Amino acid sequence: MPIDDTHDPALESWVESANDPTGDFPIQNLPFGRFREAGDEDWRIGVAIGDQVLDLRAAGLVRSHDMTSVMRLEPAARRELRQALSKGLAKGSDTPSRWRDALVPMARVRMGLPCRIGDYTDFYVGIHHATAVGRLFRPDNPLLPNYKWVPIGYHGRASTVNVSGQPFVRPSGQIKGPNDERPRLAPSQRLDIELEVGIFIGRGNAQGQPIAIDEAEDHVFGLALFNDWSARDIQTWEYQPLGPFLSKSFASTVSPWIVTLEALAPFRRPFTRPAGDPEPLPYLDSPQLRKSGALDVQLEVWLQTEAMRKAGLAGERISVSNFAEAAYWTVGQLVTHHTVNGCALDSGDLFGSGTLSGPQPQQAGSLLELTEGGKRPIALSNGEQRTFLHDGDRVRLSAHCQRSGFRRIGFGVCEATVLPAGTPPPRDDAQAVPP
């Protein structure tokens, strides 16, 4: 993914809101998503630019509103589309008169899932999270023997991935405490967050044809924010011997904009391992991977309780982290490992990274870690405390990339609110909410 003139920090847009240096969507970003206005029956493909959405079909850049057709483009064709968007939206371009009518204010649109998600795999790449959680249960041996050799993952539930803004109902399931004689069915009391990055597959592969490590990122369309909500008390009882099931499948939340790998090109970092750790097996290793396989994405978790909302308070930041520093495996390694057995991926398939906690306690990406398994509640500025989520709590994830000599870009937001157990589920179209 080369750095080219589309990343020029001096580049400005005739869409003036895109020139705000604190904004998420400058002309150097150009993320993709699906939107609709009031009265629309079908989703449209758009690109975020400042506080506007450019309707790609109305601008004459695509023939249909099928996001899959864009995601399946070859890398060269994707770069050509990015070049066309950049040139057409740049200040001084001769396209404003033709494209101005293709702009829709973000305040007027409803965002949907960024694409049709056919399948979903959740990985466990956050080594600091894996170590901290393992230490809660296995103080002398927190990491299992395979962790540093193989990217760990499990098959998730695509049908309950929601777009940012859609609330979800507190799950119920079997729970058995350490002193209980038998399990009981009850609403989860240890509802947790998981700060993750979502990875969207662009081009798939044929069954039986693994994707080589140096070709892996050609099959990735881009990244989004992802919150894989977890019911820790349900998980504790059910996870042995096959891993998470109902403790994870009730809801996950993804941000509506996919930030492409082309936009992320300036924010590469070398992929390294701590001294003494095993080297990846050859199929998961290459000189190019070591040179620039990691992605420098700054991550934040914000919590707004119902009391804060009623008082007009925006909420407060409870954690910060970084994708490159938290992840033991790279995006490319996940793609290659997922297909090494011949597994077929398809456009729109989603990977969750797993919880991305940093090495310091305040960088934990879950309440399980922040509160040491619920033993140490976190104190909020309005006097409330939290071990796990209460009904009415709203969690927001945000992220951005920033590096000297380049323009800051952001991911938008990924947020959802916890509804009480037994609440009638939101209507199907509730996933199309303002960003």
* DSSP SS3 for 350: strand
Tell me if 188 sits within 8 A of 422, measured CB to CB: no
Tell me if 332 sits within 8 A of 210, measured CB to CB: no
Phi, psi at residue 420, to the nearest 5°? -65, 150
The encoded tokens of residue 425 equal 């589920």
Count CB atoms within 10 A of the CB of residue 225.
Answer: 28
Distance CA 408, CA 83 (A): 19
- Of 76, 72, 83, 82, nearest to 116 by C-alpha is 72
Mark whether 65 is an active-site residue: no
Distance CA 339, CA 332 (A): 11
Cis peptide bond prior to 241, omega within 30° of 0: yes
Distance CA 11, CA 19 (A): 9
Tell me if 217 sits within 8 A of 331, measured CB to CB: yes
Distance CA 104, CA 93 (A): 19
The encoded tokens of residue 247 equal 């403790």
7, 128, 129, 400: the catalytic one is 129
Distance CA 301, CA 367 (A): 11
Distance CA 330, CA 290 (A): 10
Residues 6+ apart with CB under 8 A from 430: 166, 167
Q: Which residues are catalytic?
A: 129
